[in-house]
Amino acid sequence: MKFNLPILLLVFIFSTAYTQENGFKEVQLTDNNSNNRYSSYNKEGTKILFESDRDGRWQIYIMDIDGNGESRVLTSTSNDRRPTWHPFKNMILFESDRSGTNELYTYDIDTKALKMVPIPLEGHKSYAEFFSNGVELIFCLETEKGNKDIYRVHKKGKLLRKLVSNEQKNRYPKASRRGDFVLYTSDKNNTQDTDVIYNYSVLQKSNNKISFFKDDCSDASWPNVTNRLVFSGLIDKEDHTTTEIYTMQTDGSRKLRITYNEQDDSLPHWSPNDINILVTRRMPNGEQIFKILLKEPL
């Protein structure tokens, strides 16, 4: 069966415009024939960091908050992935396979200093993020069985502690502003092969499930000034089959749907003042970065 591309695009544009009437205003920030993902704001909210495979491998890019001024942060022959900002400095943390194994690196944008985080563990390290104190970080370590455990460590490789360990894939850890809780996504204790969001208490060393097994929820992130988490989820599966963006209270209550469209939305990230959300959307030409305007005028 042959499809007419202009007709498909017209249907896509109409369905997107129709469904967005139920949600918030949106701005598309990237638009190219590649995948652009893992977007996040710097502390001032003036720059957006993200990864892109437009050069044939994953590389780290930066752009203005309106999507203009795109430029590559680093140039390498390796895959540099999942960049995140330091909470106080003009520095990023990312993972790279430049040594043959996924290791974690910091890069100071001002001084151009590139350093590997000397973590005394063998195996692929991923999904790294700084704690709010700026001197510690959290990351995932892939085990020999392909599962992922979550660790906390000083940026100099000291004070290594395992936070979450089981026979499942635990990923996308996000520490709270005070460092007392860690959000993460896991498929543990789940017979339906869906992801569930957990909140780990650093002090009590306990796990609290805050999404339901019947839903497929992941990529939860903490707010900066409000008390609402943001996450991607496939909820009400009888009504739609694509993941959308939601917010909820820190205990998992009062879920609010933010996006309404026919594409998968994932990897949400709050702006510094929680007035908009960056998301990754699977479009016909690849994954693209959108800004969802909650309070900010279009």
Give the CATH number of the domain where residue 196 resides. Answer: 2.120.10.30
Rounded CA-CA distance 78/225 in Å is 37
Look at the block and give the residue holding tokens 């949106």: 26
What pTM does this model have? 0.89
Best CA proximity match to 235, nearest among 210, 253, 213: 213
Q: Is there a domain that residue 239 lies in?
A: yes
pLDDT digits (tens, 9 = 90+) for 107-153: 999 999 999 999 999 999 999 999 989 999 999 999 888 899 999 99
The total domain count for the chain is: 1
pLDDT digits (tens, 9 = 90+) for 190-242: 556 689 999 999 999 999 999 988 888 999 999 999 899 999 999 877 677 89
Q: Is there a domain that residue 226 lies in?
A: yes
pLDDT of residue 22: 65
CB atoms within 10 A of CB 193: 7
Q: How far is CA 10 from the centre of its chain?
A: 30
Q: Is there a domain that residue 204 lies in?
A: yes
Q: Is there a domain that residue 238 lies in?
A: yes
Domain that holds residue 156: 5-293
Q: Is there a domain that residue 298 lies in?
A: no
Q: Is there a domain that residue 14 lies in?
A: yes
